Chains A and B, each alone.
Chain A
């Protein structure tokens, strides 16, 4: 049990320090599994395999930033054996290819599978499956996952997803990309503003000292409604960096700042991986906040001088 806890904590620590692609779906396959496309997504459908069946999935949209080093790969199998009551062990062997299926890594194994759906995560943030990987290895037609069903009666597979870990390079990811401030109320008008009830996470990785900027794409919000466009200024969206960003952040804007079409410095730091959390505030008034729907595009730019 203690070993389990230690493993979990170690894995989290490594993951938090690097960047990852998130879980990605395949988009192509070939082999002998039945209903193989049902394993593209995490849903209620499944592919199935008999012992000895082999199937290959590929077409993963894996984007590794320029200059980044791949540190590890995870394959996630949401799988189970069928019939659940039959006590025959079933396994899925997993191998990875970097050259379109000409070469394969040694197999990792998921199993014995339970009689109910479980997520098996093979590999890890620091596990290259026995080799070093380059960004070109992950082109959609080159990187492949081969599954071999072994033993049991039938193996069912809901999802075969891949996550790639990397460090260094120059990358910038947002989560979420949309700041949805929701539907305004009269209380927002009375208060004069509305705070977003969530935060936007910015994960960045830089090989050298860096500066992160933000700017609006236009000087006014785009308005859709039945009234004349109030031309709500982009500066009515305020942003700030919440305290205690992680990683090598040397300075950041801790006070609400109006968005403008000029680049404003969000934060700066030294080489490495960093995470920032941004809060947003919308100014609300009766002159520029008429009934309708408003949209504003803005852009973050990470610069290494």
Chain B
């Protein structure tokens, strides 16, 4: 017991010496940065060209264009991708409704960044429809399939075109 006490006193003395010799000064600093809402939307091609239709297309009732477009999204906050026709009808020999153009998402490059997407064909209208909804992420690519509906009754020969617009929003 006696030896233990002596050891404790010696240890305390050594610690005191070390503490007494040490000196220090400090300076505080601050790092800061700002993040605005950042979004970007790109398409690999602006034109979806179905080419010339055939009688087989008329018999089938539609012509499909698989992987016709890649739409890519960047957003640092949760986002919604919508699409809408620029007009209610196609430009052409008759007032072909915009809904005759259908699209769907064929595949997604980063499914962990996408909460939901349109995996089934839907027809376009002038009202925006959701293509996909997701969480923050970048370089999220959607491969899009397209389908144009064709009928012997209405679709006379001629050139048809319809503008449509994708919109990315991050509220």
Contact = CB atoms under 8 A, between A and B. Distances in A.
B11 interface: no
B32 A302 contact: no
Contacts of A280: 31
Given A286-B136, A290-B35, A295-B30, A301 B76 contact: no
B25 interface: yes
Interface size class of A (residues with CB under 8 A): 35 or more
A303 B23 contact: yes
Interface size class of B (residues with CB under 8 A): 20 to 34
A19 to B, nearest CB: 12
Interface in A182-196: 182-186, 189-190, 194
Interface in A271-305: 280, 282, 286-287, 289-305
Interface string B1-36: 000000000000000000001111111111111111
Contact of A180 (B33, B35, B136): B33
A301 B74 CA distance: 41
B47 interface: no
B24 A302 contact: yes
Nearest to A217: B28
Nearest to B113: A286
Contact of A177 (B23, B30, B38): B30
A290 B36 CA distance: 8
Interface string B128-171: 00000001111100000000000000000000000000000000
A177 B27 contact: yes
Contacts of A296: 30-32
B29 A200 contact: yes
A227 B75 CA distance: 14
Nearest to A287: B136
Interface stretch (A32-40, A113-121, A168-176, A244-252): A168-176
A301 B23 CA distance: 10
Contact of B28 (A66, A177, A185, A225): A177
A181 interface: yes
Contacts of B36: 183-184, 291
A172 B139 CA distance: 45
Contacts of B137: 286
Contact of A181 (B21, B31, B136): B31
A171 B138 contact: no
A233 interface: no
A17 interface: no
Interface string B81-114: 0000000000000000000000000000000010
Nearest to B139: A190
Given A179-B31, A184-B33, A190-B138, A302 B38 contact: no
Contact of A297 (B30, B38, B138): B30
Contact of B24 (A183, A291, A303): A303
Contacts of B31: 178-181, 237, 280, 282, 295-296, 298
Interface of B: 21-38, 40, 74, 76-77, 113, 135-139
14 contacts: A180-B31, A184-B36, A186-B38, A189-B74, A280-B31, A286-B76, A286-B136, A295-B30, A297-B29, A298-B30, A300-B27, A300-B29, A304-B23, A305-B21
Closest 7 CB pairs of A and B: A181-B33, A286-B136, A179-B31, A303-B24, A301-B26, A296-B31, A291-B37
Given A182-B34, A194-B33, A289-B35, 18 more contacts: A177-B28, A179-B31, A179-B32, A181-B33, A183-B35, A200-B29, A280-B31, A286-B113, A286-B136, A290-B136, A293-B34, A294-B34, A295-B31, A298-B30, A298-B31, A303-B23, A304-B24, A305-B21
